[in-house]
Amino acid sequence: MNLFSLASGAGAPEGAPAICSRKACRAGADWQLLWNNPRIHTPERRKVWLSCTEHRGWLEDYLQTRGLWKETLPFTAGTAIGEQQGGNS
């Protein structure tokens, strides 16, 4: 089951607005949630889910519950860190 929509980033058209990774949310991104899966990623690798302010807590909880969350940083165009993801990658 895919809980998230594709965030602007990998596979998104050039110049497309950055949107929240929460399924069905079309709001602009305000936050970048950095995470990695220690079972498949090296410790320094960071993947990114983007989030609007409304869904930040939900997405952080989802990642924290699974032991994947590393940190949350403000997002502005041009400040994305790592690889933007929009699914359970």
The model's pLDDT over 58-89, given as tens digits with 9 standing for 90+, comes to: 999 999 999 999 999 999 877 767 555 554 43
Phi, psi of 48 (to 5 degrees): -130, 130
**Which residues constitute the domain of residue 82?**
1-89
Predicted pLDDT of residue 17: 85
Task: Give the total number of structural domains in the chain.
Answer: 1
Predicted pLDDT of residue 39: 95
What are the residues facing 82 on neighbouring strands? Answer: none
CA 40 to chain centre: 17
Predicted pLDDT of residue 81: 72
| pTM of the full structure | 0.73
Residue 53 predicted with pLDDT over 90: yes
| Mean pLDDT, residues 41-55 | 96
